[in-house]
Amino acid sequence: MLWIKALHIVFVASWFAGLFYLPRIYVNLAMVEPGSLAERDRLLLMSRKLLRFTTLLAIPAVVLGLVLWLTYGIGRGDGWMHAKLIVVLLVIAYHHACARMLRRFETDCSTRSHRWYRWFNEIPVVLLLVAVLLVVIKPF
């Protein structure tokens, strides 16, 4: 079980690293001057690659978490685990929102400012903080 737990932590940390950086690229995309096609194309390529890599990290993170919960009973029936599962669903929704934003950038449909993306970039920090506090402190 400790191997599964360790791998789960590594994949979650790696997943979040991607979620921390991907919206930062969106900040830069939102700031690209009209006509700067090379810069825009480079940032779009970086975004596509990072989103693909981040998605590949999310899958084992979620699967290993489910194994810990369903096979080993970690948190089963505890209130903190129910709250953590809600946080995980929010992280998955955030990840999905990042993918949708990338599609909007690719089709030149993004109308949000770089300031909006800077605020959007803070969401995974809060989600990670809440998840870690729930797992470590187990408040309920």
pLDDT in tens, 33-54: 999 999 999 999 999 999 999 9
The predicted model gives 82-91 an average pLDDT of 98
How far apart are the C-alpha atoms of 120 and 122, rounded to whole Å? Answer: 5
Arithmetic mean of pLDDT, 95-100: 98
C-alpha to C-alpha distance for 137 and 60, rounded to whole angstroms: 24
Name the percent of the chain lying above pLDDT 70.
100
pLDDT more than 90, % of the chain: 99
The whole-angstrom separation of Cα 108 and Cα 90 is 26
pLDDT (0 to 100) of residue 111: 92
